[in-house]
Amino acid sequence: MRKMKLINILLIMALLFTLVPAASAEAAVTTDAASLKQLFDRVDDKSKWDWYMNQSPDQGHIAFGEAFVMKAYVLMYEATKDKRYLDDFIKVADSVLDRRDSVRGVKDYRGLSLPAWRTNKFSSEYKIYALHTGLIVTPMAQFASVVKKDSNLASYGSKANVYLQAAKDGIAVHYGDNIRYPDNNSTWIEDSNKMYLERPINMSLGLGSAMLAVYEATGDKTYLDKGTKIANFLKGYLKVNSSVNGYVWGYYPNDARNRFTNTMEDTNHTIYDMEFVNLAYRNGIFSSADMQMFANTGSKLMVKSGGTIADAVDGSGTYDHPAEFANWLWFEPWAPSLFDVSYNLLEARNSISPKELAGAAMLNYAYARKNGSAPEPNPEPEPEPTPNPAGNIVVNGDFSAGTTGWINLNNSGTVQTASDGNKYLANSYNFDLIQELNPAPGVYKLNARSMSGSSGSGARILIQYRDASGNKTTPYNFEYSNSGSGWEAMPEMTLDVPSSAAVVRIYLLNASKSGSHYFDNVTLVPAGGTPTPPAPAPDTEAPTVDVTAPSSGSDLKGTVNLDSRAADNVGVSSLSFAYAANPNGTWTHIGDAQLATDAAKDGTWRLAWDITNINSGTYYVRATAVDAAGNKSISEPVAYKLNSISNNMLTNGDFSADTTGWINLNNSGTVRTGSDGNKYLSNSYNFDLIQELNPAPGVYKLNASSMRGSSGSGARILIQYRDASGKKTTPYDFEYSNSGSDWEAMPEMTLNVPSSAAVVRIYLLNASKSGTHYFDDVSLVPAGGTSTPPPAPAPDTESPTTTVTAPSSGSDLKDTVTLESSASDNLGVSSLAFAYAANPNSNWVDVGDAQLAAGAAKEGTWRLAWDVTNISSGTYYVRATAVDAAGNKSVSEPVPYELNPDTDSPTAAVTAPSSGSDLKGTVNLDSRAVDNVGVSSLAVAYAANPNGTWTHVGDAQLAAGTAKEGTWRLAWDVTNINSGTYYVRATAVDAAGNKSISEPVAYKVNPVTAPVNMISNGDFSAGTAGWTNLNNAGTIRTASDGNKYLANSYNFDVFQEFSPASGEYKLNIKTMQGSANTGARVVIQFRDAGGNKTVPYDLEYTNRGSGWEAMPETTVQVPTGVKVMRIYLLAGSGTTGTQYFDDVTLLPAK
């Protein structure tokens, strides 16, 4: 059957070659892995990337610069396994995280300080774009994925956790239930099938890449579901270009305002799109057929003759940065020519951009895939092993079922597939690939096939016997050097298994320490006269496992060895450790242990655990043991104290003594007790829970544990410095969004305390205004060295003093006013509240709690905004009550104020006739007047100059409405007033004498009738008013003499639309040549009632000189039935420059 399929494929290929004309072929690129790595290292100019770190993050450099540098380093590690690229990644990523808004303490245009990167590069406001966040956090999640899948990278685990959390936090800025003040970068249109932003398509795909990258790192299908929906949205806009059988799509195909619905996606943005497509393919959302379609687009539409790259997916234009096209190498398995194109664009470059650096990394990555067949997502499960040859006791010796039956420690051995579908083993120099057998005593024949792999050296098969006590001997160590490059049968090997051998181990490995060797068809059969042993019974017995060291309850710091004892009837294949803050919560993988003593049947496994970057607290460790049959068991968790803090500057940071040591204004914070007896703090959104410290100047590390309470939002820790005079600054405002529902360690925070800080305040609160958040294990320790907490203060019995200082006594108060009070205390005022009363001896009403506005808690000014709008007018008294941390209280003397006296002036506006009207005879002048109490009178006046002398017209009468809000009317006879433009204004007065004068309104009095120009604003003195200016294509320019005129290029975006009566008209226009070289063009279009359009006039004029010239007068005949007439002004066809227009008139013919 396989032979028939092969024949059919060859026939089809032959037919295709007869039908498709041969393209002119360039010589294929000849290179190797070392040369490609050298190319990357040559252009990896770290001084250039360091430049980005010193630029303002608000300029968007991170998303379009450092994000691609990070992407390049991840790809280079995947291609070369050289860990220095991971170290280079960390340097860039740590700097990027330090420049998040939430770390810098800066806010976006909504007033939010979020774990993302704002920019004002594309707007006058600071905005956070979904695309930018997606570009930045995607490589961070990919770094985490690479680390978590390779136990050899365990030392990078803590960094991977930080970057993965940063990626989740970044996504949560744009998608989630806790977004405050959502905008068009976080408002998703979502249904059961698709989701997207009302933004250009790359914005949705950019964040979609981050979601799929987080899914790959965590397995959390919530992210896969969202990524799938975004992919479905993209699929809806993919169109097939039948000439190449490739996909094309638009830049903003769902633009609600129809500005970009016909604009093809440009090459620059496809770089972001294709990252998403590749991730979607890897996760089974796009098919291999889809990838072929995208590959056809890249190789057949976008790659143009002469080595240039198109500017859009439909093949139009020429891209200014062609080397960036190497980022399309995701599709190289389906279009191998992309490799040569990319190599030729990059090979000679010495200085490149970050996107081109990612392209150079893609060359290495594509080469490392060996230009093999395209990898399919979600591979099918391994098939059952093919039946063994008669008597063979080796399970799955032909590797048709992957590594089933073999112990494969550290996943060192890999099963590869040849072009004919045959599977075989590849392994390097290690003792990790083993099959463990229990043959009867006797003589056996061992056979195997081998082939030189990447090492070029020989094969090695080592045989080990183990007795019932685990004692081992190595009686056979076979080596074979292949004579050629193909598969060869190793010489048959004879094994004499003694009765003392309870277990026989067969190890397959490369004979030298570099490269790998291939093995297949491994058999072990009895020699003549030896009985064939029965097939072993299936192993269903799970191992037993316990964590044995360190002892339970130990204090752990630095790097410690974790030991576990594990036993199994056949043998333990692997053992891994994990830890958790809650034994019933989420467990974090530490790494895979190695067998340290004894044997796989019963031995001690060991793993070195670096806990340096784990926050202080109690944690639980457990071990999971797995045998070759997949049976698994998990040990009981063992508790340890990690990184115990002996020099914590904070008092009672674990709340074991309730709120002792903390200022708890209004008892806002409460201490709760968990089911395990642990105490922790619960607080809502307020600034009432504080600890005040007096640390020496220096650098400190702040750590805390947090857990979601009733709000489901994040934790917030605010740091405030106060100098000796009480002046305060807030240098740090930390926020953290918990990823789960259990206790989590917040990322360690660094505080740099200056010598000017006499007092440091630490506030703990919920990040949002609803619900509560929980805190525990709060610590502040010097970054280097130790510090002793200050002694507890003596009891405080002294009351504060306070006085209301503003507004001044007897002031008139209206609307919202600011109340101020000075307050002092020997230790510090904790809170100050205002109250008011109509009688100073009774019935005081609470106004609210003030905030410290100036000075310090020991002596400062407290301030509160008071809205008196709904309080009846009259005399009221205000007093302040100050309280210190010990509960001592004092009340100020009351201060009288007059609330809501009538000092409001009326508002007035002339409302009719409308501004600019022609007035003749006697006209009614209407004015609208509003007053809080009522308008008493309204007079009207006029003037020829609004800044000149005003002439009284008369007093108006209330015609409609009420005195509080009504229309006043006066009849004005303009018969004897000279023709011209005049201004009219109204003056309204209320009963208290408050007066206001309206804005003047211009009218044409007794105008002289002149021919009516059908064109509105034909001299462009009012900009583009009256003209439709799509995409702002036309611009208004101003000459040195102040004259304004229109500049436009070749487009149909600037036109004026009106409805003329049928008849004959005269069209006149002035024009001047700008940068265009084809002259002026004027197009006239008629449209009837059905929308049918004709273009009866298409006028072109070539200027003779460089100044303004009048185009020849054109007679325009408007027939009956024309409902709409359009006049378009543009530069002549075939130019990219501009033409100037002025004084456009269309007058009825006489």
CA proximity to 877, closest of 894, 891, 856: 894
Number of domains in the chain: 7
Q: Do 228 and 361 fall within a single domain? A: yes
The reply to whether omega before 538 is within 30° of 0 (cis) is no
pLDDT of residue 786: 34
Grade residue 630 by pLDDT with cuts at 50, 70 and 90.
confident
Q: Do 254 and 222 fall within a single domain? A: yes
Report if residue 223 sits inside a domain. yes
Pairwise CA distance, residues 954 & 947, whole Å:
20
- Residue 535 predicted with pLDDT over 60: no
Average pLDDT over residues 827-839: 92
Q: Do 806 and 947 fall within a single domain? A: no
- Beta-carbon contacts of 1 under 8 Å, excluding residues fewer than 6 positions away, are none
**6 against 288, higher pLDDT:** 288
Residue 917 main-chain phi, psi, to 5 deg: -65, 155
**920 against 794, higher pLDDT:** 920
Pairwise CA distance, residues 505 & 559, whole Å:
34
Residue 726 main-chain phi, psi, to 5 deg: 95, -5
The reply to whether omega before 913 is within 30° of 0 (cis) is yes
Question: 933-989, pLDDT tens digit by residue?
Answer: 899 999 999 998 999 899 999 999 999 999 999 999 999 999 999 888 999 999 999
Q: Do 191 and 44 fall within a single domain? A: yes
- Residue 994 predicted with pLDDT over 50: yes
Lowest mean pLDDT segment, chosen from 22-31, 661-670, 843-852, 918-927: 22-31
pLDDT of residue 1119: 94
Average pLDDT over residues 561-580: 92
pLDDT of residue 1040: 92
Pairwise CA distance, residues 527 & 445, whole Å:
6
Average pLDDT over residues 711-720: 85
Pairwise CA distance, residues 155 & 591, whole Å:
9
Q: In what helix (H) or strand (E) does residue 470 lie, and over which residues does it extend?
A: none
Question: 640-670, pLDDT tens digit by residue?
Answer: 988 766 678 899 998 988 999 999 999 999 9
Tokens in use for 321?
């940065």
Q: What angle do CA 228, 234, 235 make, to 5 degrees?
A: 85
Q: Do 770 and 844 fall within a single domain? A: no
Q: Do 145 and 42 fall within a single domain? A: yes
Final residue before a domain boundary, out of 737, 755, 782: 782
pLDDT of residue 537: 60
Final residue before a domain boundary, out of 717, 752, 782: 782
Report if residue 1016 sits inside a domain. no
Residue 949, domain CATH:
2.60.40.650
Report if residue 1032 sits inside a domain. yes
Grade residue 1010 by pLDDT with cuts at 50, 70 and 90.
low
Using DSSP bridges, classify how beta strands 442-452 and 459-466 pair: parallel, antiparallel or unpaired: unpaired
Lowest mean pLDDT segment, chosen from 131-135, 550-554, 727-731, 917-921: 727-731
Q: How much of the chain exceeds pLDDT 70, in percent?
A: 93
Report if residue 229 sits inside a domain. yes
Q: Do 77 and 194 fall within a single domain? A: yes
Q: Do 132 and 217 fall within a single domain? A: yes
- Residue 200 predicted with pLDDT over 60: yes
Residue 479, domain CATH:
2.60.120.260
Residue 638 main-chain phi, psi, to 5 deg: -120, 135
CA proximity to 752, closest of 700, 688, 682: 700
Mean pLDDT of the chain: 87
Pairwise CA distance, residues 180 & 1011, whole Å:
58
Question: 292-336, pLDDT tens digit by residue?
Answer: 999 999 999 999 987 799 999 999 999 999 999 999 999 999 999
Tokens in use for 878?
């205000």
pLDDT of residue 8: 44
Pairwise CA distance, residues 448 & 522, whole Å:
4
- Residue 783 predicted with pLDDT over 80: yes
Average pLDDT over residues 545-551: 94
Final residue before a domain boundary, out of 899, 920, 937: 899
Average pLDDT over residues 479-501: 88
Report if residue 881 sits inside a domain. yes
Report if residue 1033 sits inside a domain. yes
pLDDT of residue 981: 93
Q: Do 917 and 961 fall within a single domain? A: yes
- Single-letter residue type at 115: P
Average pLDDT over residues 814-819: 94
pLDDT of residue 833: 96
Q: Do 171 and 105 fall within a single domain? A: yes
Q: Do 713 and 846 fall within a single domain? A: no
End-to-end CA distance of the chain: 91
Lowest mean pLDDT segment, chosen from 40-44, 55-59, 316-320: 55-59
Q: Do 959 and 1082 fall within a single domain? A: no
Contact 622, 634 (CB under 8 A): yes
Question: 341-375, pLDDT tens digit by residue?
Answer: 999 999 878 788 999 999 999 999 999 986 543 33
Question: 412-438, pLDDT tens digit by residue?
Answer: 889 998 888 899 999 988 888 899 888
- Three-class SS state of 204: helix
Pairwise CA distance, residues 595 & 607, whole Å:
9
pLDDT of residue 606: 94
Pairwise CA distance, residues 404 & 73, whole Å:
34
Fill in the DSSP letter of residue 342. H
Report if residue 373 sits inside a domain. no
The range of the structural domain enclosing residue 916 comes to: 907-1005
Report if residue 1054 sits inside a domain. yes
Q: State the CB neighbour count (10 A cutoff) for residue 1056.
A: 20
pLDDT of residue 825: 93
CA distances, 648 to each of 34, 803, 847, 1039, 1125 (Å): 52, 38, 39, 71, 81
- Single-letter residue type at 3: K
pLDDT of residue 827: 86
Average pLDDT over residues 261-269: 91
Residue 248, domain CATH:
1.50.10.20
